[in-house]
Amino acid sequence: MNHQALAEAVEQDPVKDLYTDWSQILATTPDLTMRLFRSIFDEWHQPTKEPEDVTYAEATVGGVAGIWCRPVGADSSRVLLYTHGGGFAVGSASSHRKLAAHVAKALGVVAFVLDYRRAPEHPHPAGLEDAVSAFLALTEQGVAPEKITTIGDSAGGNLAVATALALKDRGKPLPGSVIAFSPWLDMENSGETLQTNDATDALITVSLLEGMIAGVLGEQTSPTAPLANPLYADFEGFPRLYVNAGGDESLLDNATRLAELAKAAGVDVTLSVVDGQQHAFPMNAGRTAAADDEIGRVAKWYLA
């Protein structure tokens, strides 16, 4: 490979390219309907390469629809309960099944990707209740709670964390671990990196988040409610936690603040910040070394 080709390969970032395209659409289509908004964000799967040797099956768990991702030879007694990103309003099991499958394959387990109820039609805590219902249903079906990992990206990372918090509040058994990719937690929209990383984030803006916050919180939920904004939660007794973020993303300090809070409460926390990467950059699984290396680090952590 010559130097020019090598440089082009290094600079390739399908997620960033997709976000740039979305941002252009959002900027030039002010009257975009929710249906079309969701249609656009269902393109989220495009940067993710289809993993080999994985089967998929639509199913319902705890009354919640979703997609099972079953890598060949995986340990079916261990489950990733995956909640997709999308500001609680967009994204779907379909848009994230390939990423969930990549992670499941790397960890040697199966994954169930939830189609939880979305805002604004179903504000908080609807999505959280769906995730809790699915978790409890898995345990009723014989999956040991400690063999379940709640995992998600962006708003789904919030739900992965909040599911464990909600279970703790109810005195229920907790998942064995939690994985949060670029979690979006700050419902006050107050993070410092919203400003300092504004020029390098290809998608997230303060105004975009404001609209998402209004939709998910509605008129009933405070932006400081711990199950909506886990930056206000008590993390004592919380499961082992892996949290990551891209160094270029505006929500970077959501991940770092979460890690600091959990660590201060005595939680076993691993924080991974990858320089030069965008929001939810593992969506580049199978396409970029940064995404694949990160999933490899998650696997090493999980199997340790």
Q: Quote the tokens at residue 293.
A: 């290396």
Looking at the domain assignment, is residue 10 inside a domain?
no
Q: Is residue 16 part of a domain?
A: no
**What is the model's pTM?**
0.96
Tens-place pLDDT, residues 191-216: 999 999 999 999 999 999 999 999 99
Instruction: Decide if 145 contacts 139 (C-beta within 8 A).
Output: yes
CA distance 270 to 241: 6
The H-or-E segment that residue 219 falls in is: none
Residue 117: other Cβ atoms inside 10 A: 16
Query: What is the C-alpha to C-alpha distance for residues 239 and 179, in angstroms, rounded to an integer?
Result: 10
Residue 7 lies in a domain: no
- Looking only at the bridges linking them, the beta strands covering 54-61 and 75-83 are unpaired
Q: Is residue 11 part of a domain?
A: no
Full domain range(s) for residue 31: 23-303
Grouping H, G, I as helix, E, B as strand and the rest as coil, residue 28 is: helix
CATH number at residue 238: 3.40.50.1820
For the chain, the maximum distance between any two Cα atoms, rounded to a whole number of angstroms, is 59
pLDDT given at position 255? 98
Residue 179 lies in a domain: yes
CA 273 to each of CA 8, 196, 246, 277: distance values in angstroms, whole numbers, following the listed order: 23, 16, 6, 9
Neighbour tally for 275: CB within 10 Å: 8
3-state secondary structure 133-197: HHHHHHHHCCCCHHHEEEEEECHHHHHHHHHHHHHHHCCCCCCCEEEEECCCCCCCCCCCHHHHC
46-73 pLDDT, tens digit each: 999 999 999 999 999 999 999 999 999 9
Residue 143 structure tokens? 């999956």
Q: How many CB atoms lie within 10 A of CB 46?
A: 16
pLDDT number for residue 292: 98
CA distance 44 to 102: 15
User: pLDDT value at position 6?
Assistant: 41
- Please report whether residue 74 resides in a domain: yes
Given a cut of 80, is residue 15 above it in pLDDT? yes
| Domain count for the chain | 1
In a domain, 8, yes or no: no
- DSSP secondary structure string, 36-52? HHHHHHGGGGTTSPPPS
Across residues 224-241, what is the average pLDDT?
Answer: 98
Per DSSP, what are the bridge partners of residue 61?
A: 64
Could you tell me if residue 268 is inside a domain?
A: yes
Q: Which secondary-structure segment (H or E) carries 296?
A: helix 289-303
What are the pLDDT digits (tens) for 236-254? 999 999 999 999 999 999 9
Task: Kindly report, residue by residue over 246-283, the tens digit of the pLDDT.
Answer: 999 999 999 999 999 999 999 999 999 999 999 999 99
Residue 30: band (very low, low, confident or very high) from pLDDT cuts 50, 70, 90: confident
